[in-house]
Structure 1
Amino acid sequence: MAQAHRRQGANLELPTQHRIPITWLLANAGDSIRYRTLDELCPPGSVDPSRLALTHSAVTISKAALAVVKKQKESGVWGGNLLGLAPAPAQGIRDAGTIPQYRRLLQLAWPRGTRPFKLADRLLFRLLSRDDDPALLFEFQKLVKLEPAAEPWARDVMREAASAALAEAGYAEDPRLRGAGHKIANSVSQFLRSPLAEKPFIKHGKQVALHVDAHPPSWYSVAMLAMMPNLRRERAGFTERLGHYLAQPAPKKSFVVVVGKKTVKPQHLLLGDPIEADAKGCPKDIPIALHYIELLARLGALQWAPVATKVLGWLLRDCDESGIWRPKNLRSTPRATNKISYHYFPLQADAKTVEGREADVTFRLAVIAKLLGWELEYR
């Protein structure tokens, strides 16, 4: 089927049809993927509401979701920090932070409107409001104490991250988020229109540094835009320029951001396609590849991205006739080397079977196929 109809994109061919193995996913995936399969992948109107509600309730007692919920404090904060992706003792980060955990709960399909989200939403909207409470600097407090000039940069990063989380939570039309979204888009648009888009680096002593006037896109700003379709339509020209920029290969050189007299190694910036793959399209990091491909699909930009397109084609070639991702000798769930995908992958906790290890990628490929507007068949 995948070979029957193909579309040209980024000088590479992709299928225009995909089979979604609904029955297989419901039989072999964990609670979150089962619910999201019924809610997001099944044809509209084909799922009995009582079945959908029952499947959703199972998420609230699932091991993966409860592991996140139990770590939240009454303040709405996770891990005592905002952006931490994993424990980092040198930075005083004990565990994944508030925004990664919040976004993970969203990916796990924890019910919106419940206490964990209500607690965190108040905090995230405070970040959007430019509240200058020193406590809201979280893990950046030490940096700002040593270098006060770092405060605007730190608050901008946190504001972008909060905007991404709130957009993913369904607040795309909230005036507070729309206002923040336009400001973020303005900064990125100015960067894309400037010579800095092609030459963003300068020498800083013995280090390579991002130019102080450069405001490139980030994982957070791109995720925000991906979940704000009306904002994208209002700024169609900017969205297209961004898509072309994100399709080019990211520079491989390591660089720092200069904040006052200090330098910081950024983990959130996107200066192009971050996917690393061999000539056949095999990615070094499957979770980050899927995450980025899904973002490009939501932005309508995958067609311009040769590496992402090749990787998607490589992943699809390992799908069987039913649409199940079945690579040879899969001994464990694909592991991430870039922790930025922490919230996104895997949704299937502690997979004990081969089928369980196949479930996350199978589900993500189905989501991507639907986002790309391919013709879908259901199994």
Structure 2
Amino acid sequence: MLVLREEVTHYKRVTQTARKQRTNGTWAGNMLGLAAAKSQGISDVGTVSQYRHLVELGVPSDERPFRLAERTFYRLLSRDEDSKLLFEFEKAGKGNEELASWARDFLREGAAAALAHAGHVDDPRVRGAAHRIASGVSGFLRSELSEKPLIRKGSRTILHPGAYPPTLFSVAIIAYMPNLRRERAGFVERLGHFLSQPMTKRTWVVALGRKTVKPTFHFLGDPLRADSAGNPKDLPFALHWIELLARMGALNESPTAVRILGRLLRDCDDDGVWSPKNLRGFPKSPSKLADFAFPLECDEKDADSRRVDVTFRLALIAKLAGWELEFV
């Protein structure tokens, strides 16, 4: 085990990620950034994604990068009102209490998702935050707003101020917390049904005072997209989303997920290795929503490396779905 630990902690991607962490436990001084965005003052991928990347790489939970980041995550869960804890939303939140309040809640979702992903599912702080978030989403799903969550305001389509739709973070929290799913079985069933519905094609924003926020992480239905043959438009995100659905026991609720999974499995060879025809480049993610989980393999130029991440993820999904695996 010591040898394995040594290999993991010295893996190239692990050391590269750890070196970027600041002494305050954050990466690039922001929480939710998916990539550099000068307009938002974001210089690189944020803390939640970098932390979750280390989780995916199998870094032991007691390593220093985790300990540093978790101090900030737990401060967020404690509802600390320090304006510095707004991170990338601090500037926009000045003089806009509506945006600041929304940002604090949203950052707590990101922090709770990261901690749940890392296995801190029995920590009372994580459980408390998870139940509050689940209650908010559950209230939305039970309300009439779940059917008509969007309204017009001037020339824009905005999310109804009273709507609290699921996000990638809230879904991840439910997926990684089996006890929470058992305690809220009815809610999980409603959530799975909601996420199987076609998502609106209308462009909309979240209006917060005089500011608007693009709903990058918010979902008003099924976020998966695929062509007529079942090929996903965003393979890394599709794999992550299907994994979350499998963890929730909601995989069969989503026709798109089933179709994409069927396509990916048909592209596997007799040994179960994902081997699609004409795979010349490494699959990229337009949304970058799941870049923390894909790829995990370093050598993107090697043909075998292009296959290993997808093959691993398909095997994990199969195991989570309860399928019987045959090893040849």
* TM superposition score category, shorter chain reference: over 0.9
Give the greater-gyration-radius structure (CA): 1
Q: Take 1:164 and 1:378, find their aligned partners in 2: how far apart are those partners?
A: 33
The amino acid across from 1:334 in the alignment is: P
Contact persistence 1:79–1:96 (CA under 8 A): yes
Contact 1:247 1:302 in 2 (8 A): no
SS in 1 for 2:326: strand
TM-score, with length taken from structure 1? 0.85
CA distance in structure 1 between the aligned counterparts of 2:273 and 2:31, rounded to whole angstroms: 36
Question: Which of 105, 112, 135 matches 2:84?
Answer: 135
Partner of 2:145: 196
* CA distance in 2 between partners of 1:206 and 1:263 (Å): 13
Shift of 1:149: 2.1
Matched, 1:63 2:12: yes
Task: State the Cα distance separating 1:205 from its structure 2 match.
Answer: 1.3
Match of 2:32 in 1: 83
Higher mean alpha-carbon deviation, 270-279 vs 360-369, is at: 270-279
Asked if 1:125 is matched to 2:79, the reply is: no
Give the residue type in structure 1 aligned to 2:255.
Answer: P
How far apart, CA to CA, are the structure 1 residues paired with 2:247 and 2:203?
A: 28
User: Which residue number corresponds to residue 336 of structure 1?
Assistant: 285
Aligned to 1:295: 244
Q: Give the AA of the match of 2:134.
A: A
C-alpha RMSD of matched pairs (Å): 1.0
Aligned to 1:253: 202
1:293-338 Cα offsets, whole Å, 9 max, x none, are 0010000001110011000000000001111000011111111001
Q: Residue 273 of structure 1 contacts residue 308 of structure 1 at CA under 8 Å; is this kept in 2?
A: no
Give, as a single letter, the amino acid of the residue that structure 1 aligns with 2:96.
Answer: E
Shift of 1:262: 1.6
Task: State yes or no: 1:366 paired with 2:315.
Answer: yes
Quote the residue 2:118 is aligned against: 169
Measure how far apart 1:264 and its partner are. Answer: 1.2
1:271 aligned onto 2:239: no
Matched, 1:376 2:325: yes
The structure whose RCO (Cα within 8 Å, separation 6+) is larger is 1
Q: What amino acid is the match of 2:326?
A: E
Aligned residues: 328
Task: Output the amino acid matched with 1:250.
Answer: M
Q: Does residue 228 of structure 2 align to residue 317 of structure 1?
A: no
For 1:32, the equivalent position in structure 2 comes to none
Q: Does 1:239 align with 2:188?
A: yes
Q: Distance in 1 between matches of 2:160 and 2:210?
A: 14
Q: Tell me the distance in 1 between the aligned counterparts of 2:285 and 2:235.
A: 7
Cα distance in 1, alignment partners of residues 274 and 216 from structure 2: 30
CA–CA distance in 2 between the matches of 1:63 and 1:176? Answer: 33
Distance 2:263 2:119 in 1: 32
Q: 1:106, 1:168 within 8 Å by CA — same for their partners in 2?
A: yes
Task: Tell me, in whole angstroms, the C-alpha distance in 2 between the residues paired with 1:289 and 1:252.
Answer: 18
> C-alpha offsets along residues 236-263 of structure 1, whole Å, 9 cap, x if unaligned?
0001000111111221221100111221
Aligned to 1:6: none
**Which stretches of structure 1, 4 residues or longer, exceed 4 Å deviation after superposition?**
none
SS in 2 for 1:341: coil
Question: How far apart in 2 are the matches of 1:324 and 1:72?
Answer: 35
1:146 is displaced (CA, Å) by: 4.4
Matched residue, 2:103:
154
Q: Is the 8 A contact 1:293 1:302 kept in 2?
A: yes
Provide the TM-score with structure 2 as the length reference.
0.98
The one-letter code sitting in structure 1 at the alignment partner of 2:13 is: A
User: What is residue 60 of structure 2 aligned with on the other side?
Assistant: 111
For residues 234 and 152 of structure 1, the distance between their equivalents in structure 2, rounded to whole angstroms, comes to 28
Residue aligning to 1:34: none
Counterpart in 1 of 2:299? 350
- 1:23-60 Cα deviation digits (max 9, x unpaired): xxxxxxxxxxxxxxxxxxxxxxxxxxx4xx42342121
Q: Give ranges in structure 2 of 5+ residues lacking alignment.
A: none
1:341 & 1:204 partners in 2: Cα distance?
32
1:352 partner amino acid? K
